[in-house]
Chain A
């Protein structure tokens, strides 16, 4: 039977945040939270709490987003990286 190889590789280009919260997870949380905000009987306190949490999540998402343009890289014979 087939078996998947274990992950034991070193990491590059990675931030802590990205590992703790993926964009998908954050979006899912925000959508849930919007669902709660939509409820007619939400209290003002709850509403503010959800809103603050949502904005914090969005801020985290924003931090996750990389906004630095990159050159395409190419792996050379020695396993190093060159510009393509």
Chain B
């Protein structure tokens, strides 16, 4: 029969094993923060975990100076301390004395710090943002010479405006040389007086994009006298440079769209302006013409010619009436005349011929009223009721009615 131990004895024994293990006394453990609790006592309790495993951690308030930031869920950290057993509960845990951010976690922290600092300095303020010109002739690009970003920018820019001049500064966009390279690029393009600068690169990890989170790059972008469009990584990657830039584009292609106007649209717009102006001008001409026409019509009714013509028409009407009246009168007189003629006919000397009288005329047709008018032997004509007779004068005898010659 073996010895029987108390729980306390076993826990004490196990604890002893930990304390005697040199490695357990000073150990550095990498993991992710989980279940982090800042206790009112000042102690911090959390769980350190990775994909496979988890371990409880405590940092006593007396060790708080070993934690330079506020721990939050999901941070990647490296904890330095000892692993020991808490005898009361029979649990082992890490007693943290120092906690630092690990890798990416540290970068995030730095990012947040710099962002806060630059924001404080006013470098993200709207009032410093330069407007991006709508139409540019020269586009500067600071990015890697190879890769999708530069191709996308060139393709989009020249598709929108085939006449735009693209000048590339082939920059190193990741690694230690990236910061001075990007800064040199911005300055070189500024010296060339390009119209707009795109600074950026394609997608990558936070470490790959890190140069764009460096203060020196942010400062160079801020200092640049030419509008800068940032285009770093993908839509979801937002760098310090993006905050400082005059405009942030979600991707390099989008940056080219924002920097270079669509030439076709520009031309269409100008044509539309010309058409609108012509149409409006023509409309004004037309309305003026209409007014002139109205005046012309009104004036015509008031013109002396029109009045004259009107009077003439009136006078013609009057003349016609006059004529008609005259005609009537004449007709009447003519009738009267016919009547008189008929009456006169009854009194005509010619009618006497029908009663057996005749009259004589010489051959010339002159009525004979005196013997003196003809000589003996001359021919005369004697008119009777139904014709005339040719006669010869045999002798003349003077009557007493007319005196002798």
CB within 8 Å of B: which residues of A?
Answer: 1-2, 4-7, 9-14, 18, 22-24, 27, 30, 33-34, 37-38, 42, 44, 47-48, 50-51, 54-55, 58, 61-62, 64-70, 72-75, 79, 81, 84
Taking residues whose C-beta sits less than 8 angstroms from the other chain, chain B's interface range is 35 or more
Q: Which of B265-273, B296-304, B362-370 contacts A (4 or more CB under 8 A)?
A: B265-273
Closest A residue by C-beta to B118: A2
Q: Which of A7, A34, A66, A69 has most B Cβ within 10 Å? A: A66
Asked if A75 contacts B134 (CB within 8 A), the reply is: no
Is B169 part of the binding interface, using a Cβ–Cβ cutoff of 8 Å? yes
Given A12-B192, A23-B135, decide whether A70 and B163 contact each other with a Cβ distance below 8 A. yes
Mark contacts of B244-285 with chain A using CB atoms, 8 A cut-off: 1 yes-contact digit, 0 otherwise.
000000000000000000010011011001101110110011
Q: How far is the CA of A50 from the CA of B279 in the complex (A)?
A: 13
5 closest residue pairs by CB, A with B: A37-B280, A47-B284, A23-B135, A70-B165, A7-B225
Asked if B137 contacts A34 (CB within 8 A), the reply is: no
Is B164 part of the binding interface, using a Cβ–Cβ cutoff of 8 Å? yes
Is B166 part of the binding interface, using a Cβ–Cβ cutoff of 8 Å? yes
CB within 8 Å of A: which residues of B?
Answer: 121-123, 128, 133-135, 137-138, 145, 154, 158, 162-170, 185, 188-193, 222-225, 263, 266-267, 269-270, 273-274, 276-278, 280-281, 284-285, 288
B185 neighbours in A (Cβ, 8 Å):
75
Q: How far is the CA of A51 from the CA of B167 in the complex (A)?
A: 39
A33 neighbours in B (Cβ, 8 Å):
277
Closest A residue by C-beta to B193: A11
